[in-house]
Structure 1
Amino acid sequence: MHHMAGGLPHRVLRDLAKKYGPLMHLQLGEVSAVVVTSSELAKQILKTHDLAFASRPKLSAMDIICYDSRDIVFSPYGEC
């Protein structure tokens, strides 16, 4: 997290990718994030694990302001 402080996020992630490689796991507070900076690697990952990345996390705030998370942005993948 301290790597992200004081810089533009896209530039900080670029610098981290140069140092650690195109696939990184970041723990941003309580949120676990996988960052892929290579288009070829992203294509390969999403080809085999697309369902794992298809839905967004369920957030209470989105239930309140986005029609119980059923709007076009936050609706879950598949049948509701």
Structure 2
Amino acid sequence: MVTTRFSGRRAPCGRSSDGEHYETQDGQGLASDQLLFDCGCKVSRDEFHDGTLEHAVVRHDGKLLEHETIGEHGD
């Protein structure tokens, strides 16, 4: 897992926020890319072993703003 700190990025709620960026790969096709904002918002992109992609954007109050699944299980 690779973790980096960022500052002043626009969060899904519209605020400018600091946070952390996490990147994970298992070497067999599973990859995760997440932005976790200090305000509580979250943006994630996951690629699964079968090639399916999932993208989600969640505001700090828990409201799901975007969710998309592309691929074998989400056509």
TM-score, normalised on structure 2? 0.30
Q: Which has the higher strand share?
A: 2
Rg larger in 1 or in 2?
Answer: 1
TM-score, normalised on structure 1? 0.28
